[in-house]
Amino acid sequence: MRTAQLFFLLTLVGSVLTVSLVPRFAQATGGISGAKLATPNTETVPHFRMEFEPCFVVAYDLGNFNDSWRSSANEGRARSLVSGLRFTVGLSSNFEVGLIAPLMLNKQWGPGDLKLSGTGLGDIPIGAKVRFAEDEDWSLAWHGGVTLPSGDSDPGPWELATGEGTTVFETGLIATIQAASNLSFDINLNIGTAVPTMDGSHEEWSVTLELAAGYTFGSFQVVVELLQEHAGWEEYDSSSFSLLAGFTYELSEEVIIVAGPQWDFAGRNATHAIGGGLAFTLLL
């Protein structure tokens, strides 16, 4: 990477941290690479090379969707700021492994003068991806991984948790379709299951469907994604629908910028939030 590009990147990252902006959204299986926003694709990191991706994500709690699919505002307000580092290594021409090291900063205000916060390491996702079939216009890949309960799920008084306190195993399939020279689609179906906890308060299983479309103009790609998750709990289930819109910009073969907002537009027994993300993908 040229010195000027590295200086530009570090300056941009510093400005992002200063004004608390934020980025690439969490994927169903953490640690694997992608070519759009949240939805992974079938491409893998080149053999014996590594992708290093600093990312920043912020989310504001707007309320909760009830059992009737209606959103109700909370008495207080909550904000989550996540900065993370993704490391993904190509072990062969079609096989990669990776992980994300997340740093959580959670804040909650109200009602009244109540203020809660939680800062620290979040749960660490580790994942792998294998492309096992491909043709001229399409390809398929398997991915799977585990999320380790490294975050603090039992905080003290006036503190918020930075982790879920449970181990989650995930697996899924990805399809990438090259519909035209400048138009591509990624489809990801992910299934997850959690190790039951003593109090049974965490989700026991989840199914996630991600649909992404990208249209390129030279080095610039416009991206729209639709995410749907259905999760089962001990006493009820939940559903959520989210819309993402953003872009990727390729500064060079080694540096890509990823940015865009996310909006939870519908749900049942789920959190109603809005947020945004920013990430920098570096191929080393």
**pLDDT tens by residue, 229-267:** 998 876 778 999 999 999 999 999 999 999 999 999 999
**Position 163 confidence tier, pLDDT thresholds 50, 70, 90:** confident
Q: How far apart are CA 81 and CA 22, in angstroms?
A: 7
Percent of the chain with pLDDT over 70: 83
Strands (E), the chain: 50-65, 71-72, 77-92, 95-109, 115-121, 124-134, 138-148, 168-180, 183-194, 205-217, 220-232, 237-250, 255-268, 270-283
Q: Report d(CA 170, CA 200) in Å as an integer.
A: 19
Q: d(Cα 215, Cα 182) in Å, to the nearest integer? A: 6
At 79 the pLDDT is 76
How many of the other CB atoms lie within 10 Å of CB of 160?
18
Residues forming beta bridges with residue 244, ordered by sequence position: 225, 262
SS3 235: coil
* Interatomic CA distance for residues 177 and 181, integer angstroms: 11
Provide mean pLDDT across the span 176-187: 97
Asked if 208 and 227 count as a contact pair (C-beta separation under 8 A), the reply is: yes
| Residue 73 binned pLDDT confidence (cut-offs 50, 70, 90) | confident
